[in-house]
Chains A and B, each alone.
Chain A
Amino acid sequence: MWWVSVAVFLVVLAALIVALFLGMRRRSDDRAVSEATLSRSVATSVGVTVVILIGLLVASISTGRAVGALPESSGVSVSIIGHQWWWEVEYEDAVPTRRVVTANELHIPTNRPVVLKVTSRDVIHSFWVPNLQGKRDLIPGYTTAIWLQAERPGHFRGQCAEFCGIQHAHMALDVVAESDGDFYRWLDDMRQPARDPPDAVTRTGRDVFMRGRCAGCHTIRGTEAAGQTAPNLTHLAARSTLGAGTLTNTPEHLAEWIRDPQASKPGNQMPPNPLPADSLAALVAYLGSLQ
């Protein structure tokens, strides 16, 4: 399609330049081009255009059918729910306790089509991983399905593609494609509830989390924190980014993010948390232990 377009562009421009050249050279006493010649040329050009366009149409529709048709489910069924401005990712399972909820990361096995059911809880978002598949809008009130398939293991960046408000720019998603073995190991890890704090510092950190306002919005499975409006943090330390791709997940960034999430992602819905330095350090340590 690209080359057809380039060719058409060059041919039409060449015709234009020739016409310009002939038109500029003609003097009033020259013999005019006959109307019949012009008619024939225009009619031929239009005819050729129609043929090319119909060719493109057939190619486009057949490719569209191939790309758009949903494959058989490969056993992994994932829901993606858009929020302002993060992604909720849920691996479904018939047994409720085996369901896995995470955020801003999507692990998929390679060489298998994975079907995603997508919708939104608030405004319209659009799920887009450029290297794996075209985009699909996440529309509140509608659930639609798309599929994607990674041919090789690796990280693929996804990004919201429908303007969704003040932090549309910082709504990325880390897609991790890995072998079946790695994928199912990861999924099993995710099914475990959060581990208990291993030492005194992290225990203090957990108390800060539970007593502060964190638990009002975030869930950490296996603890009393069960907030539903913000990303699930059960295995936060296993993720590679914070704030839906805003910062890399390091202890320094995490501390910075907790203290003032509005600095790096202004307008997002997490309030600043002016904690004393030791509480903050303990909280970061606790969250860092949530492998």
Chain B
Amino acid sequence: MTQLDATWADPRGLYGWFMHLDHKSIGRRYLLTAFAFFLIGGVLAALMRLQLSRADNTFLGPDLYNQIFSTHGTTMMFLFAVPVMQGLGIYFVPLMVGARGIAFPRLVAFSYWMFLFGGIFLYVSFLLNAGPDVGWFSYPPLAGALYTPSKRADVWAQLITFTEVASLAVAVSLITTAMKLRAPGMTLNRMPIFVWAQVVTSFMVLFAMPAVMLASTCLILDRLVGTHFFDVEHGGDALLWQHLFWFFGHPEVYIIFIPGSGLVSTIVATFSRRRMFGYLAVVLSLVSTAFMGFGLWVHHMFATGLPQLGESFFTAASIMIAIPTGTQIFCWIATMWGGRITVKSPMLWILGFFFIFIAGGLTGVMLAAVPLNTQVHDTFFVVAHFHYVLIGGAVFPLFAAFYYWYPKITGRLLSEQVGRWVFGLFFIGFNLTFFPMHLLGLHGMPRRVYTYPAAMGWGTLNLLASAGAVLMACAVLTFVVDAVRALVAGTAAADNPWDAGTLEWATNSPPPNANFPSPPTVAGREPVWENPPDQPVVVGLRTDARDVLVTHVLDAEPDHRLLFPEPSIWPLLTAIATTVLFIWSIFTPWGVVYGALPVFVTMVGWFWPKSADEGGTQRWPFAHRTLPRPNEAPATGGAI
């Protein structure tokens, strides 16, 4: 191991395992954990499909069914879709911008533990028969203390707090990484689209998540200390919750889809052997989607009886958001048209994405129309619609990304042949499961019912949907088996098996601890394709200390050197203390008071200042600047 690698290595051993700071290690954990929740959420979905496969079925009772559908939705949204995309961001954003690490690595480590503990908390509650049973949306008054006297709604509300803390922390780190740690030469105009997607998503997280944290905190206060935010009897308002929740809930959809579209742009460009066509248009589409995503939450509330003008405004916004998405689709098609395409497994999933996502997008445009919406709202039509956009818009690109980046992460290739089977099974199973749900919705089958009378004639379509679910389960199972097989005995992957153009392919598979032996500089949007052979690398960073180069936001000109934090146990301890606080506070408000003490102590430990010798804060004026002023000779060994 070189000195550089040793400097950036995480500590070994079991104790060391809890101190990891390497973004690749945390990213892997995020991806694996989120995928595990995907599997568990899938098992819950399979149970629901089993129950609904015939009329008047008694396999699951209403109490358990309601817990299962609530936990399924909560898991897929908060423990799978958002974390898995952020996990990809944690792993790949630093690599794609040519950085040594992710900004605020301890915060990222803390965020992982919070995410993990939140998920464990949810499932322990579920196994103790205290799983949420009021939907992933927890509308009061149903979720209030009067109608849900058990702890189930508290478990849901507190899980939200866990996952929001985690995703806010990641969002901050990803934005900072993309803005300040880019390789010299990677101006904003050259930043990979996937990184743009992560940045845009992270900003959405920063604005959307506080709304739901506020809402869930108010709900807990209503339940725990008797405030009356949503309590109609005492002057509260039942609709207030819906506004707060959907102000988060609709952007959430784009928080899941925008990284997915970033993946599509990345993979389409690679397999078309061509720069992404319409880079600027695509980036602006992402940004405008993010803005518009905050302006259409009311289309979840068309059935509440809002004034006409308001409805028209939100109808218009919901229809117009199809424009940026359409623009992206046309740019992807243009890229393929102008490229030289090879169809490998990642590209197959992207083609599947096109088919399913466009269908889902069009049913979305239909849903924006109030007359249609009030008919199919809260029916299986909506279930079909959002599975088409979310599985189509996020899970298909995600599987594409698994196939695309698996060799980078593990150094092994997944089987191309098995990959086709997995794709085929999943694609057919998906359509078999969810297409009939459109028809069920149009035939009047409402959502969230644990059973239905045989006289309604919904049995056949439901049986078809359940059969499709079996195919999807087989596909995912095959994928898992192949992934494990490849890890043990897969063909070794080259550093750049797809001939891709972004920086993560400019290093080994898997990347070394410090990511790059020498951090690269960049001369184009697809540096691996466009950098000339004599492109310089960054020098002057120490190999015996965790030096990173901080660059300017717009043009990525070198700014200064920064010393990265060392691995530490404190993020884990802080996460444990915070977990105790969160869970304790479900039972008594005093949990917040006494539970805050350990959090305070662990945070002091985390932020305990280092002396200057250890690389901590230096006394002003600084002993040595790292960069020369303009027109000044560079200091020896300090600069680029």
Contacts and interface: CB of A to CB of B under 8 A. Distances in A.
B630 interface: no
Interface in A128-160: 128, 130-131, 133-137, 139-142, 144, 146, 157, 159-160
A168 B142 CA distance: 12
* Interface class of chain B by DSSP: helix
Given A8-B362, A135-B303, A53 B447 contact: no
Contacts of B277: 35, 38, 42
B362 A9 contact: yes
Contacts of A165: 66, 134, 142, 147
B13 to A, nearest CB: 49
B329 to A, nearest CB: 7
Contact of A24 (B316, B341, B366, B377): B341
A163 B142 CA distance: 9
B378 A126 contact: yes
Nearest to A165: B142
Interface string A3-38: 001001100110110111011101110001101001
B291 to A, nearest CB: 17
Interface residues of B, number: 76
B378 A162 contact: yes
B142 A123 contact: yes
Contacts, number: 222
B378 A161 contact: yes
Interface stretch (A59-67, A210-218, A281-289): A59-67
Interface string B446-483: 11111111001000000000000000000000000000
B366 A161 contact: no
A131 to B, nearest CB: 8
A136 B378 CA distance: 11
Given A56-B365, A134-B375, A45 B326 contact: yes
Contacts of A42: 277-278, 281, 327, 330-331, 334
A122 to B, nearest CB: 7
A158 to B, nearest CB: 10
Interface string B58-83: 00011100100000000000000000
Interface stretch (B90-98, B171-179, B243-251, B350-358): B350-358
A20 B147 contact: no
A1 B378 contact: no
Interface string A66-82: 01100000000000000
Interface residues of A, number: 74
A229 interface: no
A166 interface: yes
A92 B102 CA distance: 67
Contacts of A267: 62-63
Contacts of A33: 337-338
Contacts of A65: 308
B504 interface: no
B333 A15 contact: yes
Contact of B355 (A13, A67, A124, A141): A13
Contacts of B448: 163, 168-169
B392 to A, nearest CB: 12
A161 B62 contact: no
A275 interface: no
A142 to B, nearest CB: 7
A5 B62 contact: no
B366 A1 contact: yes
Interface string B333-344: 110111111110
A13 B70 CA distance: 35
Nearest to A268: B62
A24 B337 contact: no
B379 interface: yes
A68 B310 CA distance: 13
A255 interface: no
A159 B61 CA distance: 20
Contact of B303 (A20, A136, A166): A136
B585 interface: no
Which interface residue of B341, B374, B377 has the most chain A CB atoms within 10 A?
A: B374
A142 B305 contact: yes
Contacts of B323: 46, 49-50, 53
B79 to A, nearest CB: 21
B447 A163 contact: yes
A160 B449 CA distance: 10
A38 to B, nearest CB: 4
A63 B354 contact: no
Contacts of B377: 134-135, 161
A164 interface: yes
> Closest 8 A-B residue pairs measured CB to CB?
A134-B374, A60-B369, A23-B341, A144-B305, A169-B449, A19-B337, A130-B444, A64-B370
22 contacts: A5-B365, A12-B333, A12-B354, A13-B358, A19-B333, A23-B272, A38-B334, A53-B319, A53-B320, A60-B315, A61-B312, A63-B369, A68-B308, A123-B147, A130-B375, A134-B373, A135-B377, A140-B141, A157-B456, A168-B448, A267-B62, A267-B63
Given A23-B341, A124-B139, 14 more contacts: A1-B366, A9-B362, A23-B337, A42-B277, A42-B334, A53-B322, A60-B372, A61-B370, A64-B308, A128-B446, A137-B305, A141-B237, A161-B377, A266-B63
Interface of A: 1-2, 5, 8-9, 12-13, 15-16, 18-20, 22-24, 26-28, 32-33, 35, 38-39, 41-42, 45-46, 49-50, 53, 56-57, 59-61, 63-65, 67-68, 84, 122-124, 126, 128, 130-131, 133-137, 139-142, 144, 146, 157, 159-169, 245, 266-267
